[in-house]
Amino acid sequence: MKEGCQIYLKIYDIYLILWKLYYKENNKQIIDFLEYYENNNQEISFSYEGVNYFVHQLPKIDENTKIGVLDSDVEITLEELFLLIYLIQDKSNYLISLGKKTEYINGIIRMLKTLLKCNNKNDVLETIGWLFDHEKCYYILNSKDFLSEKKKRMNYLTEYEESLIL
């Protein structure tokens, strides 16, 4: 974590960073790093400001890869980006496990992976608010005019929905 630095990233922002890495910088390991989360249940711990946190074990990621964070002068490492993604998914999985709709466990990772792999218009993604921009060659999140239930689902895919798309 960057000392004295705070940034706010939405899932859409994270998707755009991953898209840039995957397509513009041709880093095909991005998909592997997302799939690693789904295929590995080991945990690691880290300490931040004297508090221990537990998260899924990270894959081996080049610690020297720096990423510019959108419209800022802040840089983070690829490892820090995936630590953030893993933390978000871990927290989401915990909250989902408290409810009845457990098919959304790992849904954020599944959504990010699917958005990167699917490079054309898709009805399932459009239904939950993701519109493919053919000029930019990536998905735009259309959060306007959606019912609140669909807004809640924009960042999640079930295994079944993923199988329909891919």
Separation between Cα atoms, residue 159 and residue 13, nearest integer Å: 23
Instruction: Classify residue 2: in a domain, yes or no.
Output: no
In the predicted structure, residue 72 carries a pLDDT above the cut 90:
no
Nearest alpha-carbon partner for 156 in 11, 2, 31: 11
3-state secondary structure the chain: CCCCCCCCCCHHHHHHHHHHHHHHCCCCHHHHHHHHHHHCCCEEEEEECCEEEEEECCCCCCCCCEEECCCCCCEEEHHHHHHHHHHHHHHHHHHHHCCCCHHHCCHHHHHHHHHHHCCCCCHHHHHCCEEEECCCCEEEECCCCCCHHHHHHCCCCCHHHHHHHC
Q: What's the average model confidence in pLDDT over 152-161?
A: 87
Instruction: Classify residue 3: in a domain, yes or no.
Output: no
Q: What percent of the chain has pLDDT over 90?
A: 67
- pLDDT for the residue 143: 65
Residue 60: how many other CB atoms lie within 10 Å: 9
In the predicted structure, residue 58 carries a pLDDT above the cut 50:
yes
In the predicted structure, residue 78 carries a pLDDT above the cut 60:
yes
Structure tokens at 145: 């005019």
Instruction: Classify residue 134: in a domain, yes or no.
Output: yes
The answer, as to whether pTM is greater than 0.85, is yes
User: For 20-56, how does the pLDDT look when each residue is reduced to its tens digit (9 = 90+)?
Assistant: 999 999 999 999 999 999 999 999 888 889 999 888 9
Instruction: Classify residue 95: in a domain, yes or no.
Output: yes
- The mean predicted confidence, pLDDT, of the chain is 89
- pLDDT for the residue 150: 54
Provide the domain limits for residue 55: 11-165
User: For 85-134, how does the pLDDT look when each residue is reduced to its tens digit (9 = 90+)?
Assistant: 999 999 999 999 999 889 999 999 999 999 999 999 999 999 888 999 99
Least confident of 83-87, 143-147, 162-166: 143-147
Instruction: Classify residue 6: in a domain, yes or no.
Output: no
- Give me the number of domains the chain comprises: 1
